[in-house]
Amino acid sequence: MENPKVLAIIPAYNSEEHIEKTLVSLLKQDYPALTPVVIDDCSRDNTLKVLQKYADKIRIIHNKENKGLAWGLNHALSLARDEELFFIIEDDIDLVNTDYISRGVRHFQDSRVAIVSGQPVDFDAQRLSLLNRTYARYLNYDYQSRGVVDMDYSYIKADLIRISALREIGGFGFAGNPKLGAEDQILANNIRSKKYRILKDASLRYHLSFARMRGLSGYLKSERNAGKTLGVAVTQHLIAVTPHDSRESRVKSLFRRSQLLFFGLYCLALLSMIFHLQAGMITLGSLVLLRFLICLSRSSGFAWLSKPYFVIVGWLDDLNFSVAFLRGGLSGILDRDQK
């Protein structure tokens, strides 16, 4: 695959503050065979007005009602004619490399590669509160890797995707429930089921807006939604999030599965303290030790020893996601039984 045509898609919603920076970074790409398309999903702010400034350089699709991310991406997929690759970029992403696409395209020489992701290098946390800056630093560290690694997931933030693989799995999301959410997890699950590879290239860099999430509370809310949605997807659609055979993916899988374990330990500790204070304290101590060991396993060397606040915010992330995941799973089971 040499110099394949690329269809670049920006799904936009209420992004008047960020969309222009995203567009400029996309239009600065040095890749010649690039067709940029923006799908405005019925934004309520001035997103469309910002987009009109670039109407001579991009194609704009405006939905008259909000139809969700999966619908927009599948509609964009239907627009592809002789393009071979999809480039999906979120509406608050700023590409650092002007050769981001050029570098990423090279990986598709391997016919088993379906997705190539980049790596965020910084979160715009300078103007946030101390607590939010701490959490942004934790997220920035959580995303890091080195070189080119196989992954078992994709965040769909600035990803190149093989169009033939997308059509093979039926596109994004679930046809009967396009607004379910968890598009990234569902996509990764379906791609892996066809024995394709998902790569992350750390040389492909982008800035990700943390401020748009409205800091820590906004991020935790988005994680709760993701956890609940994934729980519904697992129970109603029986998707199985299984690790790819690579160290990076095994570690990430261990981290995600440990979230359920930590949720159980939290509950056990609280119950134990009601009946026996000492037993509860021992359980909490076990939680601290186990969490710390997993933190060490995900870092290079003993970097976590100098960053104890990562451990604290990691616990918060675990508990937040796990409770939402279990709620979503229970809701999915109940809904399925009612049907």
Highest mean pLDDT (candidates 68-82, 118-132, 279-293, 316-330): 68-82
CA distances, 186 to each of 6, 141, 286, 312 (Å): 23, 24, 33, 29
78 and 206 assigned to the same domain: yes
| Domain of 306, in residue numbers | 247-338
SS3 label, residue 311: helix
209 and 251 assigned to the same domain: no
Residue 85 lies in a domain: yes
* Token output for 86: 């999809």
- Domain total for the chain? 2
pLDDT tens digits, residue range 130-139?
555 555 555 5
Cα(126)–Cα(109) distance, rounded to whole angstroms?
Answer: 39
Please report, for the domain that includes residue 65, its CATH number.
Answer: 3.90.550.10
pLDDT at 279: 72
Cα(257)–Cα(294) distance, rounded to whole angstroms?
Answer: 11
pTM above 0.85, yes or no: no
Around Cβ 94, how many Cβ atoms within 10 Å? Answer: 20
Cα(43)–Cα(62) distance, rounded to whole angstroms?
Answer: 9
293 and 164 assigned to the same domain: no
50 and 171 assigned to the same domain: yes
pLDDT tens digits, residue range 215-270?
556 666 766 776 667 666 666 555 544 444 444 444 445 445 555 565 666 666 66
Around Cβ 3, how many Cβ atoms within 10 Å? Answer: 11
What does the DSSP assignment read for 8-63?
Answer: EEEEESS-TTTHHHHHHHHHT---SSEEEEEEE---SSSHHHHHHTTTTTSEEEE-
